Structures are given as structure tokens and as C-alpha cells.
Amino acid sequence: MENKLASKEAWGSRLGLILAMAGNAVGLGNFLRFPVQAVQNGGGAFIIPYLICFLLMGIPLLLIEWSSGRFGGKFNNHSTPYIMDGMGKAKVWKYVGVFGIFTNIAVVAYYTYIESWSLVYVLHSIFGTFESMSQSEVALFFTEYVNVLTTSTGIPFEAVFFYVLVLALNIIILSKGLGGIEKAAKIGMPLLILFGIILAVRGLTLGESGKSDLFPDANALDGLNFLWTPQFDSLANPKVWLAAAGQIFFTLSVGMGTIQCYAAYIKEKEDIALNAVSAGFLNEFVEVVLGSSIVIPIAAGYLGLDWVLENAGFGMAFQTMPFLFQQWGEITAAFAGVFWFGLLFFAGITSSLAMGTPWMGFMKDEFGWGKTKGAWSFGALALIMGLPTVLLYQYGVFDEYDYWAGTVSLVVFALLEAILFSWVFGIDKGWKEINEGSEIKIPQVYKFIIKYITPLLLLLVFLSALITPFQ
Ligand code: PHE
């Protein structure tokens, strides 16, 4: 027994664990999805539900997922179906875990596509492709790039090629196991934060100087004001609440089982409460501070808020930023492009790696598959799921994936795991798990919140998803 435990795979160090978990959470969601969700849901109106969802669902779910994962690891379970099976009494919980795995595959399918855009845009920034292009030319460049089937750029399958390449890169890193994930996070996270701070400072200091001759009414601060001026009237709109909850789950990476799978490799008596809460707050810092200080203010600074409101979407950052960077001079533009798209790439890959772990863990728990087989089979599934979003991007397939897999499924899974934790496994046992080895004292009120408030709110969000017609 000793030997079996000693030879178990584990995180190399606490720093490695924290960076990997932070890398998991900090992703494209922080820089692309958050600003867009905020803009589409009324700017300041979005922030209040968002923060409430963070405190009453986000933090509780983080605690649930970290502790469930470490609990499962004690029994050598490393995948959500096995971890959940070990906590519940009925077999159905195993299938809930399996459902979570498919969410990961559906999300990774479109997620890695954006990752591949980022990589391509790093290269184009270096080669100066966007020099002397007008705003509409930059926007058109993107449209042609993603309109794979009708492209006229001469390299029709550039998008498909880079998509497959980025997927392969993910697979190669995943097949190296935890060590590979840790290494990617150790390189990616510090660079991401550095690039983010540089760009955010630039975005925030753009201010009045962001006014351009082309759009004399534009002002960077308009973007920030729009995001941060609370508007209370839309609080009654269930669509805003659903979007806020969906964004909290997406950005914290809860509701998909990736956290459980990472946490299953934490040592039995090691702290999880402090780690979980710090990873959550770090993610929120990156999201609300850095995430709202780059795309929106810079775009609003040059193109005006109206343009931003009309064009908000995942692609907006690709359609605008290369042009806006040009206003800073050629050399600075190249650096800014590398920083921005490099940041997106690192944010993306450290998250998409996490989405591979539930599948790989399941193949290991169920069939004893090794890492290589697990990683390549994951890649094959992601490719099958991903090709429709790549090939049919212009028909809105991408947004459908993001709504069903990236929003609704997370809520469903989160609701089920909250019920499992508090009501099947039992909140007393669960609370003990959370506090075992803890380096901080989680306020007792959270025991109550986790048992009653979180499941109830999740239920409400789920019901509102049912009655809210797909936009
Ligand atoms: N949290 C990541 C982001 O903000 C996305 C993600 C979701 C990653 C679920 C892993 C699991 O982009």
C-alpha cells in the first residue's frame, strides 16, 4: 500500500499546483468572453449579478470541487465519473460525471479554435501583416480567415491547418502528464500576467489621447464607464442573471470537472481551502481588472463605444486590436500584437489542457489507459466535435456551442454536483473535507450557503435557462 501511494502521480510542488489551477481558470474567458458578456448584458447592469454569483455560487463550487477531487484521489480515483461515484450511492452519479466529460470535449472544440487564431495572429503581428491596413481591412482579414469554405485569401485551409496544429500541441503536452501541464503553466502564467499588465496600463492611460481623427468622439474612458456604471433596472431580467452565472462558471472553470481532476492529485492532508479561494480571487483580479482594461477601453478609445456595442463578440478582439495597435507606430504595434495575442494563446492553452484531464482520467480509471492513448483519443474526439465549428463558423455554429456547452451544461453539472455534495454525500462530511488540512478558516456561514443557497440559486438559474429563449 505504501508503495502504491508513494508511486502515485502528484503535483511537483505547491507552486506548480497553484499555477496549474490558475492557468486552468485564467483563460480566454477572462479577456474575450467577460468583456463581451458584460457589453451584451448592459455593461454596468451585468456586474452586480456577476459579483453575487461569484460569492454565492463561484466560491462554494470551488470549495466543493477542490474537496471532492482531493477526496477522490484518496481512493485513487482521478476522473469525475469515479470521483462522483465514490461520493454518491447510486450509479447515476457516475453518468453525471460522464456528462461532464462531454461538456469538456464540446468546449475544447471551439476553445482551441480561438487559441489557434491567437497563435496565427502572433505570427502576423511579427511579420507586420497588418501594417497600413485600414480598420475595415483588418476586420475583413478576420472574416476571410474564419470563413473557411468561401475564403479568398489564397490559403483556404490556413484556419484548419492551425487548428489541427494547436490541437496537436495540446495533445503532446497532455501526453506528458501533470509535469507537462505544470511546465506550460510555469511558462505561460507569468508571461500572461506581465503582458496583461503592460496592455492594461496602456488601455487605461489612453484616456483622452485615445481620440482619433477618424472618430473624434471616441474615448477610452467611455468603455470603462460603460462597464462599471451600475444599472439596477436589468437586475429583474433573467437573461442577465443566466449570463452572469454562466460567465462565473466559465471563468472559474467550475461545472466541468476539470478542477476535481486536478485536485485528485493533491496530497491527502494538503490545504485546499486557501488554495481554492486564492485561485478564485486571482482569477477575478485578472478578469475584472485586466480583462476589462484592454479590449473595451482601447477599442472604445479609437472606434467609439457604439462601434464596440455593435461588434461585441469573440472575434472583436481580432477584428480591432491589430488596427488599433498600428496607431502606436510600427515597432510598438508589433510588440503590442505579440503581447496581446501571446497573452491570449497562453491563457487559452493552460485552460484547454485542463479540459483534457477529465477524459484522460476516465480512460485511466475505467480501462487503465496510459497518458499517450488518453491524450490522443481526446484529441481525436475534440477534432470531430471541432470541425463543424471551424468549417461552419460563419453560420453561427460557434455561438451555439458556447451557449449549450459553455453556459447551459455548466449550470446543469454544477447543480447536480452541489446536490451530490451537500445532500447525498452529506454537508457534514463535506464540510469536514473542506476544512481538513485547511490553512484558513472559512466562515461557518459558508456551510449554510453551500447546503441551501448555492443549490437553490443553481436551480433558479437552471429554470431561467429553460424559460429564456436562445438569443
Ligand atoms: N476558465 C477558462 C476561461 O476562463 C475556461 C475553462 C472552462 C477552462 C472550464 C477549463 C474548464 O477561459
* Torsion angle of the four alpha carbons 294, 296, 302, 305, in this order, in degrees rounded to the nearest 10: -170
Percentage of the residues of the chain whose pLDDT score is greater than 90: 69
pLDDT at 152 (0 to 100): 56
On whether residue 6 sits in a domain, the answer given is: no
The predicted pLDDT at position 471 comes to 44
Residue showing cell 454596468: 44
Residue 16 located in a structural domain: no
Residue 251 in contact with ligand 1 by CB distance below 6 A:
yes
- Asked whether the predicted pLDDT for residue 2 surpasses 90, the reply is no
pLDDT at residue 408 is higher than 90 = no
Q: What is the pLDDT of residues 260-281, one digit of tens each?
A: 999 999 999 899 999 999 999 9
Per-residue pLDDT, 156:
55
Residue 15 falls inside a structural domain:
no
Report which residue type is found at 49.
P
Nearest atom of ligand 1 to the alpha carbon of 351 = 8
pLDDT band at 391 (very low <50, low <70, confident <90, very high): confident
Q: Which CATH number fits the domain that encloses residue 168?
A: 1.10.4160
* pLDDT, average across residues 362-367: 98
381 close to 359: Cβ distance less than 8 angstroms: yes
Residue 4 lies in a domain: no
Contacts of 304 (CB under 8 A, 6+ apart): 215, 217, 218, 222
Residue 134 per-residue DSSP state: -
Phi–psi pair at 133, nearest 5 degrees: -85, 145
Question: For the chain, how many structural domains are there in total?
Answer: 1
Structural domain boundaries, residue 63: 22-467
Task: Round to whole Å and give the CA distance between 22 and 278.
Answer: 9
Distance 186 CA to ligand 1 centre (A): 18
- Cβ of 32 below 6 Å from ligand 1: no
Q: How many residues does the chain have?
A: 471
Cα(28) to centroid(ligand 1), Å: 7
| pLDDT band of 469, cuts 50, 70, 90 | low
Q: Quick check: 321 pLDDT over 50?
A: yes
Residue-averaged pLDDT of the chain = 91
Torsion region of 438: left, alpha or beta (phi above 0 gives left; psi -120 to 50 gives alpha): beta
Three-state DSSP class for 82? helix
Residue 304: all three cell numbers together: 467609439
Answer whether 187's CB lies under 8 Å from 384's CB. no
Is there a contact between 458 and 391 (Cβ–Cβ < 8 Å)? no
**Is 13 among the domain residues?**
no
Q: What is the pLDDT of residue 213?
A: 64
The answer to the question of residue 7 being in a domain is no
pLDDT tens for each residue of 31-70: 999 998 998 888 888 988 999 999 999 999 999 999 999 9
Whether 352 is in a domain gets the answer: yes
DSSP E strands in 314-449: the ranges are: none
d(CA 409, CA 2): 39
Q: Is the pTM of this model over 0.90?
A: yes
Q: Report the run of H or E that residue 95 belongs to, with start and end.
A: helix 92-127
Nearest protein CA to atom 11 of ligand 1, as residue: 253
ipTM: 0.98
Model confidence at 466: pLDDT above 90: no
CB 258 less than 6 A from any atom of ligand 1: yes
pLDDT the model gives residue 214: 63
The reply to whether ligand 1 has any atom less than 6 angstroms from the CB of 28 is yes
Establish if 34 belongs to a structural domain: yes
- How far is 407 from 436, CA to CA, in rounded Å? 32
**What is the distance between the alpha carbons of residues 232 and 42, in angstroms, rounded to a whole number?**
10
| Contact present, 191 and 342 (Cβ < 8 Å) | yes
pLDDT over 90 (residue 126): yes
